Structure 1
Amino acid sequence: MAEATPRAEQLVREYVEIWNERAYSKIPDVVSESFVMSDPAAPEEGVPGPAREVHGPDGLEAFVRGVVDGFPDFRVTVGDLLSSDDLVMYEAEITMTHEGEFGGIPPTGRAVEVGEMSTFRVVDGKIQEHRAYFDQQEIYEQLGLTED
C-alpha cells in the first residue's frame, strides 16, 4: 500500500537530516534493509554495493561518513519538494569544502556549490531507493581538478 504523502515527505526530511546533522543513529529508522542509493560519487570500494551505488543502512552510513571525512561542512539545502504517494522528489543545493581525502583525491581546500535533484521511493514506511542527480564534472571543475 502506498505511503501517505506527508509521511513520505517527513521521511525524506529525516534522511536529509542524517546527512546535515550526521544523525547516523536515525539511519535504521529511515531506510529499509534493502535500501539502494544511486549516486555518481559512490566509490567502488569501502561501501557496500558496486561503484555508483550504496546498499543497505550500513552502506549509507559508510558513504555519509566518507563524504563527511572529505567534506566536513557538507550540507544539503532542500528547495522545492514534491511528492505523490510513495514518490518524493526534491531540488537542492549541496555546499561543501574539500578539507580531507575523498575518492583518493587529496584535499584541495576549495569550496563547492552544486545543484542536485533527487528522487526517493518509500515502501512500507521506509526509504527503499534514493537516486541523486548532479553534475560530477562541475564538482571536479570547482575543485580545480580539470584543465581549463
Structure 2
Amino acid sequence: MSEAKSTAEQLVRTYVDVWNERDYSKLPDIVSESFVMHDRAAPEEGVPGSAGEIHGPEGLEQFVREVTTGFPDFEVTILDLVSTDGLVMYEGEISMTHEGEFDGIPPTGRTAQFREMSKFRVADGAIREHRAYFDQQEIYEQLGLTED
C-alpha cells in the first residue's frame, strides 16, 4: 500500500470519526479550506453553500451539528472501503433516530437505517471534496414523512 493511499484512507476514517464522535476539533486538520460536500440533505439556508452543498470546515461543522441535533444517535459504519492516490470511496450504513428538529421538520421519534456510498477527493494532505449518495425517499419513508 502506498503512503498516499494510506494517508487518504486515514483522513476519510478520521472524517467518519468526526461524525460519529462529534470531535469537531479534528476538522481543520482533515478538510481543506476549499472543501465542498455534496449532500442532498444539506439545507438551502443555515450552512455555507447552496442547497445540497456545504463549504469549508466551518460549514461542515455547522452541518454535522445540525444533523446530530436532529438525530442525536447518528452513526456511520463503514462496510467496505477502496482507495487510490487521491480518491477514496466507501459503502456505509447509517443509523439514526429523529429526536430533534432537522431542516424545519419536527421530530418523529422514528429510526432510519440505510446504505450510502461516499466518494472523497484528497490532495495535499486534506479532503477537498465529499459526495454522498443515498436514497432520500427511503429515509423519508422510514421516518413516516411520506403518505402511504
Instruction: Tell me how large the CA RMSD over aligned residues is.
Output: 1.1
Counterpart in the other structure of 1:23: 23
| Partner residue in 2 for 1:49 | 49
**Corresponding residue of 1:61:** 61
C-alpha deviation, 1:147, in angstroms: 1.1
Instruction: Report the TM-score when normalising by structure 2.
Output: 0.98
CA distance in 2, matches of 1:23, 1:78: 18
Give the TM-score of the pair, scaled to structure 1.
0.98
What is the distance in 2 between the residues matched to 1:144 and 1:112?
A: 10
Q: How many residues matched?
A: 147
Question: Is 1:140 paired with 2:136?
Answer: no
What is the rounded CA distance, in whole Å, between the counterparts of 1:36 and 1:7 in structure 2? Answer: 19
Q: Identity over the aligned pairs, expressed in percent?
A: 75
1:71-126 CA-partner distances (Å, limit 9, x unpaired): 00000000100001100000000000000000100000000001000000001000
Aligned partner of 1:87 in structure 2 is 87
- Residues 43-92 of structure 1 deviation map (CA, whole Å, 9 limit, x = unaligned): 01110000000000000000000000000000000010000110000000
Query: Matches of 1:54 and 1:127 in 2, distance apart?
Result: 13
Secondary structure at the aligned position of 1:4 is classed as helix
| Counterpart Cα distance in 2 of 1:140 and 1:60 | 23
1:71 aligns with 2:81: no
Offset, 1:27: 0.4
- State the distance in 1 between where 2:139 and 2:72 align: 16
Paired with 1:4 and 1:20, the residues of 2 have a C-alpha distance of 24
Structure 2 regions of 5+ residues with no counterpart?
none
Question: How many Å separate the matches in 2 of 1:78 and 1:114?
Answer: 12
Deviation at 1:146, TM superposition (A): 0.5
Amino acid of the structure 1 residue aligned with 2:29: D
User: Can you give the 5+ residue segments of structure 1 that lack an aligned partner in the other structure?
Assistant: none
